[in-house]
Structure 1
Amino acid sequence: MQGKGILKSKTYLYLTEFFAGMSVMAVELGASRLLAPYFSSSQIVWTIIIGTIMIAMALGNIFGGRSADKDPNPDRLYGRILFAAVWIGLIPVVGKYIILGISALLIFSVNSNFLIWAAFVSCMAVFVFPLFLLGTVTPSLAKYTMDSLDDNGRTVGLLGAFNTIGSIIGTFVPTFVTIPSVGTSITFLIFGGILLLLAVVYFLSTGNRNWKLVLAAVLFAASCVFGRSDSFAFWDHGLLYEGESVYNYLQVSDNETETILSTNVLFGVQSIYKKEKGMTGLYYDYAMAAPLMADIGSRDTLQTLVLGMGSGTY
């Protein structure tokens, strides 16, 4: 098809595919870090994240293909990318409130498998729609990039390659660069900003400067102002430390008798430091019975090798 504006060259279409693939994987990894403090990062939660995102992408593929056949206007595709960018930018602002709100409602209506249902509904509410919109990118771009059936295999192959390379970068960069250095919230803003820029450049190049661009820019700017906090336990202002590592969300709380390290917001304790020694009242105390179970006397010498417990304090 004959392109307009920046689409007169197919390069921008391939760049769109590249950044869309990158953003999908970045959002998926960000989803795991956003849900982990509330639901853990178990295989169950990962299955829910991957499954719901695949559902969204599949539905997006179907809708994108039909939409491109019905109206092959790139304005519609880049409008969807613009909407997805704003939605992703709003996740750091409202995502944690939606998750806790859904969890609070399901507590009174779900009798079993609460974690599964709460994680599934939360993932559907927060992440499915923007990834559905990004799922429309590939079939739409296939429509826009093909000039004839003679080179359609090569064209689809190039689109797939750009999407895959973008996905690879979108897998490694959040995990090893952005999340450890600037946190999950800023990671969402970075990749949402890339999509926003992608759509804005297209619309400006075609001379289409409508109110949607202004509204999207204002909403995204507001997200950058109000969504920069990585406080998952936003109701607790007495924490000694709250942050993220390459591996986990970290929370340190302190009281008169102990300092507690947790990797979850509402449940689970990784380790406890007792200021005045004594028992913790948790399962850690069973380790104190190890010498008795091994039938070791008080004067016997015992050599042990401890594997792991990199941040253990007990």
Structure 2
Amino acid sequence: MTGEPRTPSPYAWAALSFLGGAAVMNGEIAAGRLLAPYLGTSTSTWAMLIGTVMGSLALGSLLGGWLSARGSAERWVVRLMIASSVLFALLPRGVPWLLASSLERFRAGAAALATVAAVTGIAIALPMASLGALPPLLLHAAGRPRGPDHAIQLGRLSGKLTAAGTVGSLVGTFGAGLLLLPWLGTRATFDAAAVVLSAGAAAFGFYAGERREALVALAATALAAVLATFPAREPAARHGRVLWSGESRHNHIAVVERGEERQIRVNEGFAVQSFARLDGRLPVRDVWAYYALAPSFCTTASPKNVLLLGLGGGTSAEVYRRLYPEAKIVGVELDAAIVEAGRRWLGLELPGVEVVIDDARTFVAAESRRAPGRFDVVVLDAFQFPYVPFQLATAEFFAAVKSLLAPGGVLMVNAGRYGHERAVVHALARTLSSVFAHVAAADAPNRSNTLLVASDHDLARAVGIEGLATTAETKTVLRDLAFRHAPMRPAVWPASTPLLTDDHAPVEWLTDRIVWRAL
């Protein structure tokens, strides 16, 4: 049964418009965080997400206009708010399962990956389309003829509803981005929107006399509230036994145990961000082996000051702390939670290491003014796989890093590749060569990393392993690493390789091209 309908006041319509606008932007910002662990936060990802939301809102507007001529507009408003509420509650519980195996689907081919992308897009589009249908329905219901000056009233009403929706969008944007996501996390941000939407639908349903829909909305509110109290099960880890997982302001972090290693994996979990050996042995392999060798490319016998941009859980700092105990080490990391995970789960306490929680670009800019020429070795290892943060890949940034280097110092950069696809490596090498006199490269023994060394001296003038003022034990370790890893060779790149600058740094586009070619 449906109760006797009443005519809601203009304030009720404005409140619903406000609520709809807030829910749309809350959902869009939260969806960005939902996708980030699997698809990254590149401009390509955000363009696809924003395009999906805008297209959904457009379709929703057509739907709302069509529904406005079919039955009570108030009833459809309540129904659509209920639908959006339920879908918001389901999104963070379903999408991660779809995307968790995205890398396996990537390897399986374009068709499988396209299927996952399409299903994910539809899952995000459905609640947005439901919310997009609200404005036409609200205007239709609130703008019923009420006297000879109806046209004037309709224009004013449209302006008020639009303004209320826009203010709601602002509240949803800042509330999700600055409050809910940092404070509660992604899933709880969706849950909060689900509860508020369904509760608002229930209140409006009772107010407008749509009691049957109001009761359904109350049930949806109770369901969303109950779901919010239970943590969502995460997809099973593919890389080892999960010891701990959690979400920081910047990343999803998992600590896994695999064989003789304990590893930190962030976001999609493909790459090992940091690791420690369970037997206490020195954690050197792949890129960390090259980090250990970096001082041998200098012209000075021992590194007095070392800067690690992208400290992570502390593996590279542990390598330097044990091999070069006299060096003063500064580690810069954006995500404090990863550093804490390294301390708690990997046992990397890093005594004597100066840990700075800051953005690498900000730190370098400040340090280049405060203490130019301070560091003998700078290691740059800052990724959000598979993308390189563009602001850490430009000629302007490398020039600032160069100002931090002491005479005879070197910059080592970890660059991502995919097998023989190395467009990003080439771009980084060319850009480094615009700042430094010499650039050399070597592929790590995997499919994903190339190490670049940049200096103003020819590597033939470097001290080498034998010229380092360190212990015989350290030299033995370094000789073994050099024997098992490819030597540095002068870097080369195609003539068409772009120079990366702050104004034009298409690193994401280059990475996307690699992905599509691989598919």
TM-score greater than 0.5 by the shorter chain? yes
Tell me, in whole angstroms, the C-alpha distance in 1 between the residues paired with 2:71 and 2:134: 14
Instruction: Give 2:178's match in structure 1, choosing from 164, 176, 179.
Output: 176
Tell me, in whole angstroms, the C-alpha distance in 2 between the residues paired with 1:86 and 1:249: 24
Paired AA for residue 94 in structure 1? G
Runs of 4+, deviation exceeding 6 Å: 101-106
The 5 A counterparts of 1:154-303 are 154-210=156-212, 213-215=214-216, 217-218=218-219, 221-226=222-227, 228-234=230-236, 238-254=241-257, 257-274=260-277, 276-297=280-301, 300-303=302-305
Tell me, in whole angstroms, the C-alpha distance in 1 between the residues paired with 2:220 and 2:94: 13
Higher relative contact order (CA 8 A, sep 6+): 1
**Would you say the 8 A contact 2:75–2:210 is kept in 1?**
no
**Would you say the 8 A contact 2:39–2:45 is kept in 1?**
yes
What's the TM-score once normalised by structure 1's chain length? Answer: 0.83
1:89 maps to what in 2?
Answer: 89
What's the TM-score once normalised by structure 2's chain length? Answer: 0.52
Whichever structure has more helix as a proportion of its residues is: 1
Task: Give how far 1:134 is off.
Answer: 0.3
Paired AA for residue 269 in structure 1? V
Whichever structure has more strand as a proportion of its residues is: 2
Query: Any idea what SS the aligned residue of 1:242 has?
Result: strand
Paired AA for residue 21 in structure 2? G
Tell me, in whole angstroms, the C-alpha distance in 1 between the residues paired with 2:125 and 2:32: 14
CA offsets 1:226-258 (integer angstroms, 9 cap, x no match): 463255344579423211112121222245744
CA offsets 1:184-230 (integer angstroms, 9 cap, x no match): 222111101111011111222234332x5555544554454446325
Q: Which moved more, 1:62-71 or 1:19-28?
A: 62-71
Paired AA for residue 203 in structure 1? G
CA offsets 1:30-76 (integer angstroms, 9 cap, x no match): 21222222233333222221111111011111221233255562211
Distance 1:253 1:25, change over 3 A: same
Q: Which moved more, 1:286-295 or 1:12-21?
A: 286-295
- State the percentage of identical aligned residues: 25
Aligned residues: 305
Unmatched 5+ stretches in structure 1: none
Tell me, in whole angstroms, the C-alpha distance in 2 between the residues paired with 1:229 and 1:214: 26
**Would you say the 8 A contact 2:199–2:218 is kept in 1?**
no
Paired AA for residue 198 in structure 1? G
2:11 maps to what in 1?
Answer: 11
Q: Which moved more, 1:265-274 or 1:241-250?
A: 265-274
Tell me, in whole angstroms, the C-alpha distance in 1 between the residues paired with 2:258 and 2:177: 33
Distance 1:280 1:214, change over 3 A: farther
Distance 1:123 1:301, change over 3 A: closer
Kindly name which structure, 1 or 2, has the bigger radius of gyration based on alpha carbons: 2
Unmatched 5+ stretches in structure 2: 317-519
CA offsets 1:154-184 (integer angstroms, 9 cap, x no match): 3222222211221112112222322233222
1:29 maps to what in 2?
Answer: 29
**Would you say the 8 A contact 1:261–1:271 is kept in 2?**
yes
Tell me, in whole angstroms, the C-alpha distance in 1 between the residues paired with 2:18 and 2:289: 52
**Would you say the 8 A contact 2:100–2:235 is kept in 1?**
no
